[in-house]
Chains A and B, each alone.
Chain A
Amino acid sequence: MANVLVVAELLEGKARKTTQSAITAAKQIAEGTGGSFDVLSIGDGAGAAAEELTGYGAGKVLKAEIPGGYTCEKYAATVAAAGKGYDVLVACASAFGKDLLPRVAAKLGAGVASDISAVHTEGGSLSYTRPMYAGNVFGTVAIKTDKQVVTVRQSEFGAAQESGGSSPVEEIAIQTDPAADKVEFLGVEVVKSERPDLSEADIVVAGGRALKSAENFTSIIEPLVDALGAAMGASRAACDAGYVAPELQVGQTGKVVAPKLYVAIGISGAIQHLAGMKGSKTIVAINKDKEAPIAQVADYFLVADLFEAVPALTEAVKKL
């Protein structure tokens, strides 16, 4: 029997959708082993966010109000103290979860299975599948320490839905860590977009180096993105060249996405990029070079000059 604590991720006082993916994994672990799960809301605005999280069937929702911006050292001791009462700690493998949970694990002497894509509970014993080598090998791993720490790949665990009921909210004490005095939070620039979140969108349109400029992303890619109601993504080369913001990067470094439709425009398909999108249901490539490695994963391939084909595609989509 494994009792699970989900560490919620807050952004500007609200639970990010990553939290619902972590809840889905926690439910699988708890149900598969006959245990239960609780949720920890921690950070600036944790009290209000805790109220948002009472409808998901948790035994209780813990809250730890920590004002000011996030640093790993400010949160880890409190999460570890709360985690002492549980067998498994779960968070999403976002920049937040991957930063915070290893420090918590070290405090608890726990092994970490990071970025898992599946939970196994056969015979009541827990193991996890996780992608390795940029998604070219999948390993099944068991954690041998008393406590287990797990981060989950958002694209592999759908968002939990509210199931009714109301979990009680309980305040917990804040613990301090001397290392926290060494890090001063100066600020955060949160990127806002009217478009769907890249990690959650049903359709992603991504552009690569062949776009040649930021202006071409605006004039060629964005109209198609908006005609499809899609999220915009990019290859590492396009982000490095400054054509679009780094948050839009899809790949081994960057976001892992698995939308229903992924349209790769002017992206050759380096192995590190494929790692971030090859779980997509339908993949379209628009590229001049039909030998480009993106062909290994593309369901549909249009060999064409993107500067002509994409505006035509945008117009055709608008007519549907």
Chain B
Amino acid sequence: MKILVPIKRVADPDNASKLKVSADGKSVTSEGLEWKMNPFDDWSLEAALRLTENAAEKNARVGEVVLISIGPNDEHTQRIIREGLAKGAERGILVDGQDVGLDSDIVASVLKAVVDKESPDLVVMGKQAADGDSNVAGTKLAEKLGWPIINYAMKIKTNDDGKTLEVQRELDTGVATVKVTGPAVLTTSDRILQPGSVKNGVTPDDHQYAKLEVGGRYASLKGIMQAKKKPIDQMSLGDLGVDTTKALSYTKFELPPARSGETTFVEDVAELVDKLHNTAKVI
């Protein structure tokens, strides 16, 4: 099985409250924040690696994971691709592009051009990027390819020698189960990091992965050494012949208004109840 995993660099999401807006309100500045792999992509990479390895045999690779990142061709984007290669992906592709010059529509078009060249069995990607929070590119990519989209996958099981997948999708009203015939685009939910979330027919079905608290697996030292030798193909938007006309135009950015008032530290339960009942009047 060959899986394409798009990964994006984003300003450190754990410190997003330190972002600033330029004086004219035309741009967001992330100075001082480290570039990180979009956490939603990290989860999807974890799912893709589980689908293409034998976890009972020291994660022996039985398939191929190709990473694709669209971003400035600099050390940060390259570092993030290397990080994914160190976790186990086979090779990377870097498409040179400025984040501010892209929107979900262009990203989907770039990814379609790469899918056309690479012919993967699956694209597994983050449901959203932690900066734009749009949750659009995966589904638009699927439509551009004429493939199905399976959003918010929390459990994936391969059937029929990998030709079909049974996927549980996390909804806000419960869980839906679908059977999908590839090729297809999948996005993942938080729950894809659970120990038994992926059954690929190679790793024994009763295998339980180590509990992951926040993101996907860490790279091993061996993985980090191997990643240095893995290839990263570089290309430009022009090489892919993608129309870069934006569908969206941002005219202004603002920081959210600060919450009014200070935090009142109450002494005990009685004071809390008094404040909520008599001051805030919410109970």
Residues of A within 8 A of B (CB): 11, 16, 69-73, 76, 94-96, 98-99, 102-103, 105-107, 110-115, 127, 130-145, 178-191, 199, 203, 228, 236-237, 239-240, 246-247, 249, 252-255, 260-261, 270-272, 278, 281-284, 290, 295-304, 309, 312-313, 316-317, 320
Contacts and interface: CB of A to CB of B under 8 A. Distances in A.
A295 B262 CA distance: 9
A56 B249 CA distance: 32
- Binding site secondary structure of chain B: mixed
Given A182-B180, A299-B263, A302-B268, A142 B251 contact: yes
Nearest to A106: B143
A269 B227 CA distance: 35
Interface stretch (B47-55, B62-70, B116-124, B128-136): B128-136
A4 B103 CA distance: 23
Interface in B115-156: 127, 130-136, 138-140, 142-144, 146-152, 154
Contacts, number: 269
Contacts of A95: 151-152, 170-173
Contact of B139 (A99, A131, A246): A99
A105 B269 contact: no
Interface of B: 11, 13-17, 19, 21, 28, 40, 103-105, 108, 127, 130-136, 138-140, 142-144, 146-152, 154, 166, 170-182, 184, 189-191, 193-194, 213, 246-256, 259, 261, 263-266, 268-270, 272-273, 275-277, 280, 282-283
Contacts of A298: 263
Contacts of B178: 71, 183-186
Contacts of B147: 179, 182
Nearest to B30: A133
A140 B251 CA distance: 6
A179 B178 CA distance: 14
A98 B135 contact: yes
